Chains A and B, each alone.
Chain A
Amino acid sequence: MIEGVSIQMILTFTTLLFFIGLYGFITRTNLISILISLELMLNSEAINFIAINKYVYPGVLQGAIFSLFIIALAAAETALALAVILQVYKMTKSVDVKEVKDLKY
């Protein structure tokens, strides 16, 4: 429990963060920016886990453990995505998402 901070404030904050990420994910055309937006969404979830763990179920650790999982997963996913982006850049000389619509073939 943090003094002067209610769970509603934290949840509002994470919701904002999530939708900022969502907006970025849809509107940005730069692959790196899309990746960053994705990270924003993941992180807002991690904060949600911790906040609910702390405020609603104090004394257990599952929420904290899950947020650790999310961080580890996010790191792995970023590494993978960056590798893909690098390959895309090698092929098309740009990191624009519109250039990779040939991926379906």
Chain B
Amino acid sequence: MTDFSYVIWIPLLPFISFLILGLFNRYFKEPFAGYVGIASLGISWVLALVTAYKYFFVSGLQNGKYVPVIPFRWDWIHFTDKLGIQVGALIDPISVMMLVVVTTISFMVHIYSLGYMHKDEGFARFYTYLSLFSFSMLSLVLAPNLFQIYIFWELVGVSSFLLIGYYFVKPSAIAAAKKAFIVTRFADFFFLVGILMIAYFVGTFDLETLNSPSTIQWISQHSGGVFLGLSAVTWALILIFIGGAGKSAMFPLHIWLPDAMEGPTPVSALIHAATMVVAGVFLVARLFPLYYFVGGGFALRVVAVVGAFSALFAAVIALTQEDIKRVLAYSTMSQIGYMMLALGVSGFKGPDGTGYMAGMFHLFTHAMFKALLFLAAGIIIHAVHSNLMKDMGGLHKYLPVTSWMFLIAALAISGIPPFSGFYSKDEILHAAFEFDKIIWFTGFFVAGLTAFYMFRLYFRIFFNGERTYEHTPREDSKAMLYPVVFLGLLTVTVGWVFTPFSLYVSPDRVPFRYHIHWLSPLVIGSVLMAATGIFFAYVMYYKKTDYPEKVSRAFGQLYVWAKNKFYMDELYLFVTKRIIFDKISKPAAWFDRHVVDGMMNAIGNTTVWISEKIKFIQSGRMQEYGIYFIYGVVILIMIFYFYNY
């Protein structure tokens, strides 16, 4: 057995850097704060890679199965013999994979921010928050029990809040930060209720115990009450999924993600594209055996349907947005929908687990290429000082490296071989096809939409006619360019290097071989679909044409609705302001002020009146009161001691 106890340093190093930067914030001049963050994350990154190598290639596989390792674990609070809150680490295929994803992206973003946040007043503060986020996210993925996941779940929520509101002088940033916090916190409430229900009905927080076959069998025998035709544990799983949907921006809790783009772009790349928003996917994958077996997999079907719908919904909105970061945000939501869909259609044993494997693989590849897209978008925004596509165009000449890297990422997300996105997306579609034709068709159609909106973005930013800029856009910051190029290399390579991904990740932890049938109609079909999307984007946006306007007019009302994000924000405002505030809160407030407070005031006034009357018996000397108190205690002790009940 290899010793993994050093993994504690992977989250601990960013935490140390957080403490140093947070406590001595003022004393750090600009680059040094960055160096502290980069050094800690760099070591974490190396440790994570070593862990992955040791786990996947040296010691993890025993008798044809990846065994989970718990290098350390402490009891924190003890409730009963089985139920308790522990703090520790759990090493298994998906947590190791997440460690690699989080440390890689975080390390790249730390380096990138040296250039992006250059000459920013809150430079050290920015790195403090980044370190806090990295610490919380790494602890989340290592968590061996649901409660630790929940604790760090809230912590990543807090760091996301802090980073979205980083430019705290901008009212829009503050509003976005509040919105993100309130919406995710609202969803987290359901998560907490789900956890407590699990604790009550199953009696443990421990993930390994929860996922073990004996527990699952026990649950199926003790349904523990039925509500609306579903057993208690199924409800608990659905509630936990609502929590995950809040963090992962699934419909209808997605409204915070596009607004979260108010934060600095590196933050969007790290938190709102690659790591934190996939926490919901990770959560479902963590509890996958429960989702699959309990209640005939009903909760898992909910996951699949919500994922498929969110993928379609977000892709349609992404077609119409003008702000490049918002297009990317909706595209993130759509891709996370894909991952959820993949988990939802997955089976459990052997090759049936393709969906699970593909979902995790897509998480892995998506983190790389979406972070790349965001970081490239950051360079573009840095160069032209605007988020809007109408201020861009013809940038290929000025930003050649960025343009090529953006192209690689766009091809990857569209699912063109041999880029990484092709492998993962195709496996998802394959699994969906075997499960349900409607879900498959949704995914298939969204693949075309994805290709279209990504290349709409690409052509409109980098081509689409010539234009002149006040300052010539340049890509002069090496710190920003190197991470982008590195992620570009990863995007090109990880796809075919890690195929078949099922050798590393599978639902029952038994690796299996999986082959892509290159010439099957499914693969050819989805590549053709993506190519069609790219072709339309090319026709409409490579040169300045009037096609876009004609097309948008042809779609009429649908276009207007999509452009306004299907009025989801307005719907939320209507429900909260007009219904909850006006119809429920105001009467409740009146009742509180007049009836409840009235009673309390009556009691208080009576007390005051009585005390006025009997005040003369008090001496007012504090120490006398103390002595009386001690006498009282002594007498009580005597009574209890000598009087044997």
Contact = CB atoms under 8 A, between A and B. Distances in A.
Size category, A interface? 10 to 19
A27 B622 CA distance: 11
A97 B77 contact: no
Contact of B76 (A61, A101, A102, A105): A61
A22 interface: yes
A34 B621 CA distance: 13
Interface stretch (B267-275, B409-417, B448-456, B623-631): B623-631
B472 interface: no
Contacts of A60: 75, 78
A60 B626 CA distance: 35
A23 to B, nearest CB: 11
A27 to B, nearest CB: 8
Interface stretch (B182-190, B528-536, B612-620): B612-620
Nearest to B87: A61
B147 to A, nearest CB: 14
Interface string A42-86: 000000000000000001111001000000000000000000000
A26 B78 CA distance: 39
B623 A104 contact: no
Interface in B49-80: 74-78
A59 B86 CA distance: 12
A25 B623 CA distance: 7
Contacts of B618: 104
B620 A104 contact: yes
Contact of A102 (B74, B75, B620, B627): B620
Contact of B620 (A22, A62, A103): A103
A105 B608 CA distance: 11
Given A104-B615, A104-B618, A105-B615, A26 B623 contact: yes
B609 to A, nearest CB: 15
Nearest to A27: B623
A89 to B, nearest CB: 16
Contacts of A62: 77-78
Label chain A's interface by main secondary structure: helix
A90 interface: no
A21 to B, nearest CB: 11
A101 B620 contact: yes
Given A60-B75, A61-B77, A102-B620, A26 B626 contact: yes
Contacts of A25: 623, 626
Contacts of B621: 97-98, 101
A33 to B, nearest CB: 11
A86 B117 CA distance: 46
A67 to B, nearest CB: 15
A26 B308 CA distance: 72
A46 to B, nearest CB: 19
Interface string B23-60: 00000000000000000000000000000000000000
A65 B615 CA distance: 41
B623 A97 contact: yes
Interface majority SS on B: helix, strand, loop or mixed? mixed
Contacts of B74: 61
Given A61-B75, A105-B615, A22 B623 contact: no
Nearest to A104: B620
A97 B78 contact: no
A100 interface: yes
A101 B623 CA distance: 10
Contacts of A98: 621
B74 to A, nearest CB: 8
Contacts of B78: 60, 62
Nearest to A102: B620
A52 B591 CA distance: 49
A100 B76 contact: no
Interface in A1-57: 22, 25-27, 34
Interface string B104-132: 00000000000000000000000000000
Contacts of B77: 61-62, 65
A51 B459 CA distance: 70
B610 to A, nearest CB: 14
Nearest to A103: B620
Nearest to B627: A26
B464 to A, nearest CB: 60
A46 B615 CA distance: 36
Nearest to B611: A104
B367 to A, nearest CB: 36
A62 B74 CA distance: 12
A22 B630 contact: yes
Nearest to B620: A101
Contacts of A26: 623, 626-627, 630
A100 B75 contact: no
A70 B77 CA distance: 17
Interface in B532-549: none
B88 to A, nearest CB: 13
Contacts of A102: 620
Nearest to B76: A61
A61 B77 CA distance: 7
Contacts of B76: 61
A100 B619 CA distance: 11
B622 to A, nearest CB: 6
Nearest to B616: A104
A49 B622 CA distance: 28
A98 B618 CA distance: 14
A53 B615 CA distance: 44
A53 B214 CA distance: 35
A59 B75 contact: yes
Contacts of A65: 77
Contacts of B615: 104-105
Contacts of B626: 25-26
Contacts of A101: 619-622
B586 to A, nearest CB: 35
Contacts of A22: 630
A65 B76 CA distance: 9
Interface in B581-638: 615, 618-623, 626-627, 630
Contacts of B623: 25-27, 34, 97
24 contacts: A25-B623, A25-B626, A26-B623, A26-B626, A26-B627, A26-B630, A34-B622, A34-B623, A59-B75, A60-B75, A61-B75, A61-B76, A62-B77, A62-B78, A97-B621, A97-B623, A98-B621, A100-B620, A100-B622, A103-B620, A103-B622, A104-B615, A104-B618, A104-B620
Q: What 7 pairs between A and B have smallest CB-CB spacing?
A: A101-B620, A104-B620, A104-B618, A101-B621, A26-B623, A26-B626, A97-B622
Given A34-B622, A100-B620, 11 more contacts: A25-B626, A27-B623, A34-B623, A61-B74, A61-B75, A62-B78, A97-B622, A97-B623, A101-B621, A103-B622, A104-B620
